[in-house]
Structure 1
Amino acid sequence: MNRTLPFSALWGTLLAAAPMMLASSACDAPPDPRSSDDSPGAETTAQKQPAVNERIGGARAVEELHVAWPERSKIDAAVLSRAPSEARDAISKAVVPVLLPRAGVLVEQARVVAKPAFVAASMDGSAEESGLHLSISATKIVHRHAGIDRVAPARSVRAGRPAWVLQNEGIWSVSWEENGVSYVVDLECARPSEDARCATEDRVLAIVEDLAFVGGSFETRGGAK
């Protein structure tokens, strides 16, 4: 059977083992916006991705999905206005709907990278959110892999959408599909063994449930419907 894998900027190797999710190719994987290392010789441990022209079970191995854009009226202008100007500029160019945290001050530290197939946002907490690092990424590229059984996620988030909730080395990750694309939220504590916010999944799930739609390019070209 075929499987669709989720895209993850921080620990794609772990999420590659989680079924029924979306993933971008290693060459398209979003960098952490904190890093400016674009050297062509950078090494990667990402799982080998299928060739663009390969077909698995009659479907393309690599496919661009159709983005289901929310109405412009759904943009949370209050949250968007709190993001830095550089982040707002990147959001306006994003090819997928951008979600940012509504509560707290994380959005005020947002750094956003918009690329042809994905968007990635990174935030370091301050004040009451000091010691937290949050990343939110989304992609419209799906990879299908042969020989891996499909298993439906057992959890749900954001109005009943199927989701994976995982933890690896103290980092909490939530993956789900919304607006026709795949989202991954990663929450990391500077001192995970001492920080109650990373002791359970409660904090990352609260952030996921409170994410606000803040816009994008509303680009509609391409994508499978």
Structure 2
Amino acid sequence: MLDFGLTLNKNTTDYETKFLDELKPGDEITGEIIVGEFKTVPMGKREVAEFYIIITDLKNRVKWVCEFTTPYYPETDNIYGENGGVFYNLIDSLNHVVNKTPINWKENYSVNFSRFRKTVNESVSSVTVKALQSDNSDAKTVNLQVINATIITDPEIPPPISIYDLAEEDPIILMAYAGLRNKGDRITVKNITFELKGLYDDKNITKHAYQTALRELKKVKDRG
């Protein structure tokens, strides 16, 4: 089996391992999804890519190992999903669930593997897939249709705080701010710091107030 180069969030060493050929049409599985690395295997005059997708069902403590074999084009790092095939149905239904594209959006899919792997592993935390009967009578496994996906969203980053925002909340910084405005100097963290130092040296503010104002100013420097 390939080295996935990934660490699951939870210890799953004692989970039961099952494979794609154990699924029957109508079965559904839900779990965390990771796409493994691929290896190339010669087939005729070209190479094919073999890779695994693991869906870890945390509730039932089962790791579903799904093996995919697709045509591979090294000049573009693309893999190919032919209409009706296992990979085609997976990528088509995943695209439908996540991006709201129509089912059978493209006749066939040419997919950059590196981008596909990175996007799934970093942006999709879990999926629910349904096993479908393959249109190919010679197929040894079912097809997989993604019917739900949980997307990882970026945490909200607080907007940058400005010196003006601080001046509205801190009367000591407001004093320094007003002093600079009255002198016509630029309102910068550096100039506010000098103004505060002058207020402290002239004993217009206490040491505690001076140090507190400097800590507040650091928020502006740290956050932009």
TM-score, normalised via structure 1 length? 0.21
The answer to which structure has the higher helix fraction is: 2
Q: Report the structure number with the largest CA radius of gyration.
A: 2
TM-score, normalised via structure 2 length? 0.21
